Amino acid sequence: MHPQFTQLGSLALRAAKLSNEKHYTIKSGDTLSGISKSQDIS
């Protein structure tokens, strides 16, 4: 597996955990948007 995919997987898991808490829903959404933008650039 490529380190990049592993890193994205970790961020996805982190975002999923944060989304479980209402207080962090917006923050996890921002994180997911940032990941999507990073993929589009590369």
32 vs 42, which has greater pLDDT?
Answer: 32
Q: Is the pTM of this model over 0.75?
A: no
Q: Provide the pLDDT confidence category of residue 20 given band limits of 50, 70 and 90.
A: low
Are 36 and 20 a contacting pair, CB within 8 Å?
Answer: no
Q: How far apart are CA 37 and CA 20, in angstroms?
A: 23
Chain-centroid distance of CA 11 in Å reads: 4
* Residues 14-23: contacts with CB under 8 Å, at least 24 apart: none
Q: For position 11, what pLDDT does the model report? A: 82
CA distance linking residue 37 with residue 30, whole number of Å = 11
In angstroms, the CA 36 to CA 30 distance is 10
Q: What is the reported pLDDT for 40?
A: 55
